[in-house]
Amino acid sequence: MEIRNIAIIAHVDHGKTTLVDAMLRQAKALAKEEGERILDSGDLEKERGITILAKNTAVVWGGVKINIVDTPGHADFGGEVERALSLVDGVLLLVDAAEGPMPQTRFVLRKALQAGLKPIVVLNKVDKKEARPDEVLNLTFDLMVELGATEEQLDFPYLYAIGRDGRAWREVPKEDLSELFQTILEHIPSPRWEEGPFQLLVANLDHSPYLGRIAIGKVARGRVRKGESVAILKESEVLSARVVAVYTHQGLERVEVEESLPGDIVALAGVEGVGIGDTLAARETPEALPRLKVDEPTVALTLTANTSPFAGREGAYVTGQKLKERLLKELRTNVALQVEEVGPEVFELRGRGELHLAILLETMRREGYEFSVGQPRVLTKDGLEPYELLVVEVPQDRFGSVMEALGARRAEMVHMEVGERVRAEFVVPARALFGFRSLFLSLTGGEGLLSHTFHGFGPEAGPIPTRTTGSAVAMEAGVATAYSLNRLQERVQFFIEPGTEVYVGMIVGEHVRENDLDVNVTLAKKLTNIRAAGSDENIRLVPPRRLSLEEALEFLAEDELLEVTPKSLRLRKKVLDPAKRKRLVGK
């Protein structure tokens, strides 16, 4: 059977996963009642509406098997994108016909062009009122030229699409995706492979309680059969394993086969000890393929066992040893993550961005882990710091305040388009974006769009004021009362509500001024037998601000920690005692 291997790449929310759903349905690989965004299988993916992990599926069209890899659109999950591109021979580049190329479009497209893959451009969501497909097509071509595409890559086919309705066409609107499938068969080359002994580069891992570790990759040479012994070529050693089962993809399922096909994307079970980037090869001729290379991390944070007065109340796994085991397990599959033990029960996590690390932390807390993390910081390289390409789209009357805020954060504008809304691009130090998203939403009244991706390293920009408010810190342990919160709410935006238990040193809200403020939120109103008109006015509290894990990380100051448990997120000072904190400030 002929084979085609493609990856679907795009900016976040440009419609990749929805289009894959339609392709599966029209190729009769998915029942209509199976719901939407089938490949977004994880709870976090469904909640956030983003793809985090690259997924494999396959359809048969016109007698040709088409392996499809759905990739993340967010630059923080670039490690997943790089792994996915090692499996394929071409890409479908989806671009929103209204928004046009965005920062993550640039990121994933650059990776695809560098890998020598030929793109098919799909101008999606052409039914939008503000769609401008021809202009967006020109912008996409210009972007490819800027990214150094070859003449062959620039001679790309393109289609118009409404992915939600399962429609795509070249010139005349069609009611199905037949022209998209035909374009894939005509323009994506068959996989390149050689005759000879078996060889496969491991691009992904899975695990079965019955079959053990499962290695996923594209067969680069030869074939492998169930029961055969293979060599595992790691960076510094060679292991041996026996293939317990050979699987290929069909729709959303893995189907067991006796023998792999050259050029096919397969899953091999039972190969214990294998890791991502390793080569599986015939035992008689153990030749390694070039290892997968991923971009270096740009953001780091420190993770420790929880030491707050509430430690151990809510988590099932609370010790440093349990945290270490979980992080080492994550390293097996998360190729863009680096972990270093820098002290007893203290680990430094390095990743591709705040979201990359926050997703790991959120996953761990849902699994029952409890820990504390410090303020994220950027990683410098040879005296240079990382910069981001930031794109904002805001109403005209809000742009001035956004521009002023970015100017204070040493951002440099490189492009601007003015219409009903202003679309501007900035190059900005990565650390300047810590805490900027919440400020941006406030400045734009929730009407602004913001996205960014890694731009490169540049000279250090100097001090940047990323937070202009202080913390309100509990100075007494106990239970918060409505009476106390009411007395303080003119000066403090609270993160807690009446009835919340607090400890000394716990951050209960944001002070409106730059300095920290010690507050007592546990005071109760003294009761008397005397009643006077107007003395018992109703207490009206402003609803507390609920911080997500990413927002809490952005809020952290250098002397603060975020306590993460399966049930709670609590901000606290590293030094809980207020008297000790004042002495440290005095020094």
Strand partners, 502: 478
Tokens of 478: 């106990």
The closest alpha carbon to 506, from 554, 473, 470, belongs to 473
**Cα dihedral 579, 581, 583, 584 in deg (nearest 10):** 170
Strand partners, 424: 392, 416
What count of other Cβ atoms lies within 10 Å of the Cβ of residue 153?
A: 18
For the chain, counts of helices (H) and of strands (E): 14, 32
14 labeled part of a ligand binding site = yes
Residues in contact with 329: Cβ distance below 8 Å, sequence separation at least 6, in sequence order:
none
Tell me how far apart the alpha carbons of residues 12 and 391 are, in angstroms, rounded to a whole number: 13
Strand partners, 95: 123
15 labeled part of a ligand binding site = yes
**Residue for token pair 């993916």:** 45
Tokens of 19: 């289009």
Angle value at C-alpha 392, between 447 and 76, nearest 5 degrees: 110
Tell me how far apart the alpha carbons of residues 26 and 88 are, in angstroms, rounded to a whole number: 22
Residues in contact with 407: Cβ distance below 8 Å, sequence separation at least 6, in sequence order:
none
- Helix ranges, 178-310 (H): 178-187
Tokens of 318: 């609370």
Sign of CA dihedral 413, 418, 422, 425: negative
Tell me how far apart the alpha carbons of residues 387 and 403 are, in angstroms, rounded to a whole number: 18
Tell me how far apart the alpha carbons of residues 115 and 86 are, in angstroms, rounded to a whole number: 8
13 labeled part of a ligand binding site = yes
Strands 449-459 and 492-494: unpaired
DSSP element (H, E) containing 13? none
18 labeled part of a ligand binding site = yes
Give residue 263's identity as a one-letter amino acid code. G
Sign of CA dihedral 126, 130, 136, 137: positive
481 labeled part of a ligand binding site = no
Q: Running DSSP on this structure, what letter comes out for residue 536?
A: T
Specify binding-site residues for GTP.
13-18, 124-127
Specify binding-site residues.
13-18, 124-127
